[in-house]
Amino acid sequence: MSTMRTHYCGLVTEELLGQTVSLCGWVHRRRDHGGVIFIDLRDREGLVQVVCHPDNAEVFKAAEHVRNEFCLRITGTVTNRLEGTVNANLKSGKIEINASSVEVLNASVPVPFQLDDDNLSETTRLTHRVLDLRRNQMQHNLRLRYKVSMEVRKYLDNLGFIDIETPMLTKSTPEGARDYLVPSRVNAGNFFALPQSPQLFKQLLMVANFDRYYQITKCFRDEDLRADRQPEFTQIDCETSFLTEQEIRDLFEDMMRVVFKNAAGIDLPNPFPVMDFATAMGMYGSDKPDMRVKLEFTELTELMKSVEFKVFNSAANMTGGRVVGMRVPQGGSMPRSEIDAYTQFVAIYGAKGLAYIKVNEKAKGRDGLQSPIVKNISDEVLAQILELTKAEDGDLIFFGADKAKVVNDAIGALRVKIGHSEFGKKAALFDEVWSPLWVIDFPMFEHDEENNRWTATHHPFTAPKDGHEDMLETNPGACIAKAYDMVLNGWELGGGSIRIHREEVQSKVFRALKIDAEEAQLKFGFLLDALQYGAPPHGGLAFGLDRLITLMTGSESIRDVIAFPKTQRAQCLLTNAPSEVDEKQLKELHIRLRNEPKVA
Amino acid sequence: MSTMRTHYCGLVTEELLGQTVSLCGWVHRRRDHGGVIFIDLRDREGLVQVVCHPDNAEVFKAAEHVRNEFCLRITGTVTNRLEGTVNANLKSGKIEINASSVEVLNASVPVPFQLDDDNLSETTRLTHRVLDLRRNQMQHNLRLRYKVSMEVRKYLDNLGFIDIETPMLTKSTPEGARDYLVPSRVNAGNFFALPQSPQLFKQLLMVANFDRYYQITKCFRDEDLRADRQPEFTQIDCETSFLTEQEIRDLFEDMMRVVFKNAAGIDLPNPFPVMDFATAMGMYGSDKPDMRVKLEFTELTELMKSVEFKVFNSAANMTGGRVVGMRVPQGGSMPRSEIDAYTQFVAIYGAKGLAYIKVNEKAKGRDGLQSPIVKNISDEVLAQILELTKAEDGDLIFFGADKAKVVNDAIGALRVKIGHSEFGKKAALFDEVWSPLWVIDFPMFEHDEENNRWTATHHPFTAPKDGHEDMLETNPGACIAKAYDMVLNGWELGGGSIRIHREEVQSKVFRALKIDAEEAQLKFGFLLDALQYGAPPHGGLAFGLDRLITLMTGSESIRDVIAFPKTQRAQCLLTNAPSEVDEKQLKELHIRLRNEPKVA
């Protein structure tokens, strides 16, 4: 391979028996055994055992001084391990290196933790990120991440997609999420924004006849962070002209199958199931349902409109209210404590309680049901509940009754929670499979009740279904968009849409969103302008790479698939960014600090 | 290919004769000829001729209404062109499409300029960038750019390099160029900086055992812009552990040969010549000499120390002064006007004049020389000048005498200017070839006379030559670095170095640079820390992708190889970024504007 080394440590096998090799790597472990020093030397490909015999005084002396994480260059002969000392877990497990030279390339101070300690706090890990990155799991995660992005590139390259870079210093359009701003030095008082996505630029590239574009690129949102959010995140961003929604979905569905297979050996089903938004919300209370969970909502709103029980009745009759039941097969065995815990759980999502019925023995009617609420419900309605939910003896039915959003969020989350619980797994309510899903036919607009106006469900550049253009202004709530999300195991992997390619339709959407002509021109004039020059029909999709790798690796946080992530307080514990800057720098940028108390 | 189209316009050839095809694209030209309408339809693969006959009334009517840049879907039969109308310049030049259907996918308002107009101002082009990008040249440039980056990825992938993303929101270290800053909302009063390069992160990745890293990534420098500078630019950034300088150079030299060959069909020489920094400065006054130019400096400093002529004498005797001659073969024929023009040209670089001698007839001694300065120079020195410069009858010798920097900049630029001139080409002073060069053995430090201190020639993380570690603090000026630049045709394509991997050497360099321990800890503590944990020997290189593509495409400006560039005033004429932002945004970021007059 090079002057310094002939092989990677982890790849030395019995095929090299008798040969002299030079290896470079780190001391993973050193032990003294029967007067012989054994060093497990580690490089990116894995471990190899190095033996330093006392009969080679120089080697032995050097070996005596090495400590964990010293960086060494070792030359030696590949020999068989002694009978009984073979390590089947290592590729190099049948051999060892009989060292003829041990060179310390760099010493190491004692490390603050053992690399194979799996109980490190995240603060420790992020502070000592360089050592943390030496750990197996992080090595694996970042290599897999690379493999995935390379597989994506190969796939798209084969189909004629080309990677075109779009600007990082771009225009602030305060819609959607908060922008990261960059003050301009040359243009005093003005600011660039870091892109929330290359959305408009990729549309412009379609208008400019690039036909098929992709980019694996950083995007930025200055939002409050959660476990699956980072200030900067990476998008696999794609756009194509002259394809239908179905063709775009087929293309990227196939891409994902190929990528999962080639990068991680995972077989995704073919084809992915497709579900419209209304069905997803109706059956699962979510536009990204985890299809591994075998639980469904039963719609009870109509039924509950005339019941006496006020909790159900008032939810069923309020504007935008909803009542659902969710049958949990064999849930009757659930102890009271577990139900109580779920009651607390749904409260996080705003649910004021969690009604339930245990179905002990249907044949006994009301007497066969166990529940704090059955006394408020008529025999007739109880019978209908059982019929609609298809509940059997031994089942349990949970109920949600509130504003639809609360019901969907709370019972939707409960559905996933139960599915993933011990109980759920025992009761076969959870399939341990990779379960992708297309969710399609999103509404164009959502009603923002607080401000009494319509907002774009995806973004304002999404095309309406054919024939819905005329309703954009007259009946926005009824407009369905050519938008689609790819969901995997309950996570949104990516989403996209056919875009508006006609200026007059785009202008209509802006009007529906109460963006007047002047504001539209100011913010999106360049798009409206471009659409006038024979913009082609086009559409695309963007995948969240961080999330994709988090899923693939089964990581708990996207910070585990990013080399140098920020904390949930948007700080880098390694470099201590962000930090204070010189007054001189601020002056050059024509800004000053406000005198506000500092947040710690 | 899809429902909408079966082929790309530009790829329909006689192989498809008789077949029905559907094409999507833009009206490049429409003409009415003998009652028949001809449309040149354009897509990313090129043009095809579409014929709309009047006997198909519907088609003809539709065709009558189309105008340039309308976006069309056309279905028709592939037929032979009439004898004599074959267009050998087009792949599709032997055939035409006999249209059976013309569908207007989107109309276009009249375009503000003809796409094949080669005399557009840059302002027009950047304002209407979307149309500008439809032009052949821009389509070609961005496709080539993609090809290059993909070839780089393939090459590095084969060698086990992996792409790892480093942060865009990072720490400000006000050294070298000016940072772009990003105010933090969550951490009031603090700022992120956009990276000037991933230098330290890639070193950390080496310490973290990733062994071979690359990234094609955006970097940012808030500097005053020139033709070959942009606020954001793209670097092919590479780093590897356990390779020697020679091995790293060999690797990336081979990569460039492969990339040039595969992406652009260009054969670069094998091997690249190698020149040390001292020689390059001595012979060409530049650390990135354009080796296509057959002109060299002759060192005359020693010789001129004792001449009477004050211009030469004082330059030769001043600290850091230099006197050189540059023989221009056949330059005797240069008219006075051209010499005057060159005198003005070198003034840009600070030269106070441009002395010359025309060598008319050497045999005649002083009388055979034509020059305003020979009267000041002795016969003996004149003879030595002729001997040292190897001037022949008919040649001209230019002289530079000043501080070395002025001489190098001025005569170095003159060298290139003459080489590229009409005269230079006629006099065979210029080879029209691809001429790469390694420049190596850079000094570790440059002396900053103004502040009387040493600064890093490359950056403070560059390793000194073996054995030079001890001189870092005692004799910094004599320290040579393990640094190397790849030069092509006089442009710096990339540069890199072996990095310091020992903490004590790094600390020495910081001290040599007068960065005290406290400051070093504050700014680079995370690096010093990482180096202590067995950092491996490592080094790397970064190439400027924009510059590379500019060179490959023979473009005049790097703006011609970037989809959405900024002007030299760091503005985007398409989106009008940067722009003013809401007071609310500034407030959230804990900053306010200074009340300074705005720059227009």
CATH number at residue B318: 3.30.1360.30
Residue numbers in A near B243 (CB within 8 A): 2-4
Q: Is there a contact between B4 and A598 if contact means CB atoms under 8 Å apart?
A: no
A229 and A190 within one domain: yes
A179 and A149 within one domain: yes
Residue numbers in B near A587 (CB within 8 A): 594
In the prediction, which pLDDT does B173 show?
A: 78
In the prediction, which pLDDT does B175 show?
A: 65
Residue numbers in A near B145 (CB within 8 A): 164
Residue A594 forms part of a structural domain: no
Residue A14 forms part of a structural domain: yes
Q: Is there a contact between B146 and A163 if contact means CB atoms under 8 Å apart?
A: yes
Residue numbers in A near B211 (CB within 8 A): 43-44
> Which residue from A131, A149, A165 is facing B563, i.e. has the nearest CB?
A165
Closest residue on chain A to B525 (Cα): A575
A449 and A340 within one domain: no
In the prediction, which pLDDT does A12 show?
A: 97
At residue A44, does pLDDT exceed 90? Answer: yes
Task: Please report, for the domain that includes residue B471, its CATH number.
Answer: 3.30.930.10
A576 and A482 within one domain: no
A378 and A265 within one domain: no
Q: Is there a contact between A168 and B232 if contact means CB atoms under 8 Å apart?
A: yes
Q: What is the 3-state secondary structure (H, E, C) of B271-306?
A: CCCEEEHHHHHHHHCCCCCCCCECCCEEECHHHHCC
A46 three-class SS: strand
Q: Is there a contact between B71 and A210 if contact means CB atoms under 8 Å apart?
A: no
Residue B467 gets the label, from left (phi > 0), alpha (psi -120 to 50) or beta, of left
A392 and A479 within one domain: no
Distance from CA of B259 to the nearest CA of A (A): 16
Q: Is there a contact between A533 and B591 if contact means CB atoms under 8 Å apart?
A: no
In the prediction, which pLDDT does B183 show?
A: 97
Residue numbers in B near A585 (CB within 8 A): 172, 174, 178-179, 181
Residue B143 forms part of a structural domain: yes
pLDDT values of chain B reduced to their tens digit, one per residue, 600 residues:
799 999 999 999 999 999 999 999 999 999 999 899 999 999 999 999 999 999 999 999 999 999 999 999 999 999 999 888 999 999 999 999 999 999 999 999 999 999 988 899 999 999 999 999 999 999 999 999 999 999 999 999 999 999 999 999 999 876 678 999 999 999 999 999 999 999 999 999 999 999 999 999 999 999 887 767 899 999 999 999 999 999 999 999 999 999 999 999 999 999 999 999 999 999 999 999 999 999 999 999 999 998 989 999 999 999 999 999 999 999 999 999 999 999 999 999 999 999 999 999 999 999 999 999 999 999 999 999 999 999 999 999 999 999 999 999 999 999 999 999 999 999 999 999 999 999 999 999 999 888 889 999 999 999 999 999 999 999 999 999 999 999 999 999 999 999 999 999 999 999 999 999 999 999 999 999 999 999 999 999 999 999 999 999 999 999 999 999 999 999 999 999 999 999 999 999 999 998 754 444
Residue B357 forms part of a structural domain: yes
A546 and A490 within one domain: no
B581 and B475 within one domain: no
The two structure tokens encoding residue A546: 């961080």
Instruction: Give which of A243, A411, A292 is closest to A343, Cα–Cα.
Output: A411
A252-256, A306-310, A555-559, A590-594 — most confident range: A252-256
At residue A597, does pLDDT exceed 60? Answer: no
The two structure tokens encoding residue A431: 């399939």
A23 three-class SS: strand
Task: Please report, for the domain that includes residue A65, its CATH number.
Answer: 2.40.50.140
Which one of B106, B127, B158 terminates a domain?
A: B106
Model confidence at A175, pLDDT cuts 50, 70, 90, reads low
Which one of B407, B426, B445 terminates a domain?
A: B426
Distance from CA of B435 to the nearest CA of A (A): 28
A304 and A267 within one domain: no
Neighbours of B442 (CB within 10 A): 23
Closest residue on chain A to B545 (Cα): A165
B513 and B397 within one domain: no
Cα-trace Rg, chain B = 30
Residue B195 forms part of a structural domain: yes
Model confidence at A146, pLDDT cuts 50, 70, 90, reads very high
H or E element, residue A75: strand A71-80
A557 three-class SS: coil
**Known binding-site positions of B for L-aspartate:** 175, 221, 458, 499
In the prediction, which pLDDT does A600 show?
A: 45
Determine the residue among A141, A248, A262, A589 to mutate to test chain B binding: the one whose Cβ has the most chain B Cβ atoms within 10 Å: A589
Distance from CA of B584 to the nearest CA of A (A): 10
In the prediction, which pLDDT does A172 show?
A: 87
> What is the percent of chain A where pLDDT is above 90?
92
> Given CA atoms B545, B546, B552, B553 in this order, what sign does their dihedral have?
positive
Distances (CA, A) of A148 to A72, B156, B202, B208: 32, 16, 20, 21
In the prediction, which pLDDT does B600 show?
A: 45
B122-154: burial string, b at 16+ Cβ within 10 Å, e else: bebbbbbbbbbbbbeebbebbebbbbbbbbbbb
Cis peptide leading into residue A271 (ω within 30°): yes
Residue numbers in A near B25 (CB within 8 A): 209
> Which residue from B208, B536, B590 is facing A24, i.e. has the nearest CB?
B536
In the prediction, which pLDDT does B250 show?
A: 98
In which domain, by residue range, is A320 found?
A: 293-426
Residue numbers in B near A70 (CB within 8 A): 534
Cα-trace Rg, chain A = 30
Q: What is the 3-state secondary structure (H, E, C) of B559-576?
A: HHHCCCCCCCCCCECCCC
The two structure tokens encoding residue A226: 């959660």
Distance from CA of A173 to the nearest CA of B (A): 9
Closest residue on chain A to B579 (Cα): A190
Instruction: Give which of B443, B465, B468, B467 is closest to B456, Cα–Cα.
Output: B443
Distance from CA of B581 to the nearest CA of A (A): 7
Counted domains in chain A:
4
Residue A500 forms part of a structural domain: yes
Residue numbers in A near B133 (CB within 8 A): 204-205, 208-210
B567 and B531 within one domain: no
**Known binding-site positions of B for ATP:** 221-223, 230, 492, 544-547
Closest residue on chain A to B28 (Cα): A534
Which one of A106, A122, A153 terminates a domain?
A: A106
Residue A130 forms part of a structural domain: no
B362 and B308 within one domain: yes
Distances (CA, A) of B103 to B23, B65, B70, B107: 10, 11, 10, 10
Residue A387 forms part of a structural domain: yes
